[in-house]
Amino acid sequence: MPHDREFPDDFLWGTAMSGFQVEMGRGPIDPNSDWFKWVHHPKNIRSGIVSGDLPEDGPGFWELYHEDLLRAKRELNNNAIRLSVEWSRIFPNPTFDVPARVVRDNRGDIERVDLSRSSMDYLEEKASKESVKRYREILEKAHELGLKVLLTIYHWPLPLWIHDPLKLKNGMIHAERRGWLDDSTIVEFAKFSAYIARTFGDLVDIYATINEPIVIAFNGYFNPDSGFPPRLKDLNLMLRVLKNLAIAHGVAYEQVKRWDNVSVSRYGPAAVGIVVCPQIIEPYDKNAYSDVEAAQIYEYTWNEWFLNAIIQGDYDMNLDMVIDPEEKRPTLVKGCDYIGINYYRRVRIRGMEDRGGLHPMFRAKTAPCEGDCTDSGWEIYPEGMRMVLNWAYQKYRRKIIVTENGIADASGEKRPSYLLSHLEEVHKAIKEDGIPVKGYFHWSLIDNYEWARGFKMRFGLYRVDYQTKRRIPTKAVKLYSKICERNALISPTSI
């Protein structure tokens, strides 16, 4: 194998999954999350806000994890796996009564959360023993197979005792469980993160605090067409959620560092990062000022805002792309050991007519995909992978892990070329640009429950028959297996 096609010796090769999307289908149902309630609501289903597909009909990873992890190791030749834990499974009941010392800065924002050992013991009492036992079994199996574990602490669903999206949608003032709109959720997330670190630290190689915070904020509070709870459209609420998520990352970072002191890999105890999803964002018409302006604010909001907050302490709360003195918040910066990049597509933006002096974000509209498109209507643009890896490293100077990259492709015909073309761009970023990319996780190992869109979008390297739960390899399996085995790019004809 030519050396110029190889990846670094310690490169991580894996796939990524999230709990809510794959766990149910076999074994106990978890009805205690906001997403579970949201997708079951008859009005949401009748109006087409959600698909009508139900997560309890899913792949059944909760019971079938053993065979799926074996596939990842033996059939795909992976050396790593990215998984998540479900907050509502581990704590189906509130943890509000667990004592915590909350330190606020002179503006009233949460700067630190301290938990005593007695509080940690109380969390242990409140946790679901059955759920903790199963998560340990999953993680133990991964380690037994030699799969390094990248664990996402929070991959979107919130416990219902923190967030009731239906009540919030019907009236924010009277809703008591408002999720990320309230900074009390930051405190509860600190407790959850601390518990995860103390309970699973001996089995976790790398942590991600939060998956794609901009998607949580943007889709839930600014883009009602996405079908995400609570389906509001208010720019100020979106920014409030982003701010609380940024602070939550910081307190979670500190909790993991505090409570996981066990070194299980070369990364040392508790390597902790964030997972973001930068896109290539361009004006639809580069000669139209309205499109250029709209693309600029959209790119800033989607790609930069959150990382600017957690790494630089820049909290641009009026979204004017200028950091005023009062928006510099250095005491809220806690740490970020690496940046996880989820890359999928290029987006082109149109600037709509200004009707009444609205913020430019209200005038930014994504144009439909016109090129080579996935089943989800996303443009396939592999060159963008190299571009976002360069952008993230050059701007923020952190190690990079590609934590997601994949395609909705029910036919399975496009996936091999998609996989290889994107990995070629990762390779260029490493070898030609000197970007410290440490791993690649394909989304996903198996088909999953794609949120409001249900089971129609098939991202799996293995197709799932949802009736029998059978896993059927797609054409990309052999290709990815050979790449991982050789730790190098290969030609599809060499398989």
pLDDT at 24: 98
212 carries an active-site annotation: yes
Q: Which two tokens stand for residue 87?
A: 């907050």
pLDDT at 265 > cutoff 80: no
Q: Give pTM, 2 decimals.
A: 0.98
Strands (E), 137-232: 148-154, 206-211
Residue 85 has which token pair?
A: 């834990």
Cα→Cα distances 411→53, 78, 203, 450, Å: 20, 24, 36, 17
pLDDT score recorded for residue 2:
59
Q: Is-catalytic flag, 432?
A: no
* Domain annotation for the chain: domains and CATH numbers: 3-494 (3.20.20.80)
Both structure tokens of 248: 């939550």
Query: pLDDT (tens digit, 9 = 90+) per residue, 133-174?
Result: 999 999 999 999 999 999 999 999 999 999 999 999 888 888
Catalytic entry in 23, 86, 111, 404:
404
pLDDT, tens digit (0-9, with 9 covering 90-100), for 90-127: 999 999 999 999 999 999 999 999 999 999 999 999 99
Per-residue pLDDT, 261: 86
With vertex at residue 246, the alpha carbon angle to CA 33 and CA 84, rounded to the nearest 5 degrees, is: 40
- 8 A C-beta contact, residue 232 and residue 220: yes
Q: What is the pLDDT of residues 295-305, one digit of tens each?
A: 999 999 999 99
Cα distances (Å, whole numbers) of residue 80 to 149, 150, 274, 346:
6, 7, 18, 27
Predicted local distance difference test score (pLDDT) of residue 277? 98
Q: What is the mean pLDDT of residues 338-356?
A: 94
Q: What is the 3-state secondary structure (H, E, C) of 112-136?
A: EEECCHHHHHHHHHHCCHHHHHHHH
DSSP for 410-457? TTSSSHHHHHHHHHHHHHHHHHTT---EEEEEES-SB----GGGTTSS
Integer angstrom CA distances of residue 252 from 164, 281, 313: 23, 30, 16
Mean pLDDT score of the chain, rounded to an integer?
A: 96
| Active-site residue, from 23, 86, 212, 379 | 212
Q: What is the pLDDT of residues 403-445, one digit of tens each?
A: 999 999 999 999 999 999 999 999 999 999 999 999 999 999 9
